[in-house]
Amino acid sequence: MDFGLVLQTDPPASRVIDLMKRAEGNGFTYGWTFDSAVLWQEPFVIYSQILANTEKLTVGPMVTNPGTRTWEVTASTFATLNDMYGNRTVCGIGRGDSAMRVAGRKPNTLARISGAMKVIRALGRGEEADLGGTVVKFPWVKPGAELPVWMAAYGPKALKMTGEEADGFILQLADLYLTEYMVKAVKDAAVEAGRDPSEVKICVAAPAY
């Protein structure tokens, strides 16, 4: 079992970086932040400094979404960090409720999330991806590049899609009954899709104040 820390990117950024350093020193292996441009500071800028000041910590958003950045920009950002710091990021992705609503836009559909996951994962690994009819590939991504994509989900359709398509499942609640039910739904969907359910990472994030 791994342990991770989730923080809001409230200023000063130096405080977030320091807390992530301390988390790694205390055995945490994942460092997550929220990603909502209006509410908090830009997380990807801060990730660069977290990675520069830690040795093994894996960082990523909990969660980004396919609507506030174009998919190739998101993929390029992750791929750049991985090239600089050695495959130490994970792309947590979801509907983007706060990020989209605060900006006056509707959260993303499951179809849009599905498309984004495929494109971001492929480009981040140095593979080709179809951007609405234009096939692109990052020529600078080195062999061996990795970019796992974990999906946040709650409803039956989203849980099913997570089991079918995502590399991991992010659940941001701590109710034991709901956790058991949702994790089972994801694993069952993985089996139905012909996947090994053990390959779908499970991340349960409990809030603390």
Number of domains present in the structure of the chain: 1
Q: Is residue 65 part of a domain?
A: yes
Confidence grade of residue 127 (pLDDT, cut at 50, 70, 90): very high
Q: Is residue 60 part of a domain?
A: yes
Q: Is residue 180 part of a domain?
A: no
Q: Is residue 48 part of a domain?
A: yes
Would the pTM of this model clear 0.95, i.e. be above it?
A: yes
Q: Domain containing 97 — which CATH number? A: 3.20.20.30
Checking if the pLDDT of 207 tops 90, the result is no
Q: Is residue 205 part of a domain?
A: no
Q: Is residue 99 part of a domain?
A: yes
How many CA atoms, within 13 angstroms, populate the side-chain half-sphere of residue 85?
A: 23
pLDDT in tens, 25-65: 999 999 999 999 999 999 999 999 999 999 999 999 999 99
Distance (Å, whole) CA 7 – CA 20: 9
Q: Is residue 72 part of a domain?
A: yes
Q: Is residue 168 part of a domain?
A: no
- Domain that includes residue 58, residue range: 4-152
pLDDT in tens, 57-77: 999 999 999 999 999 999 999
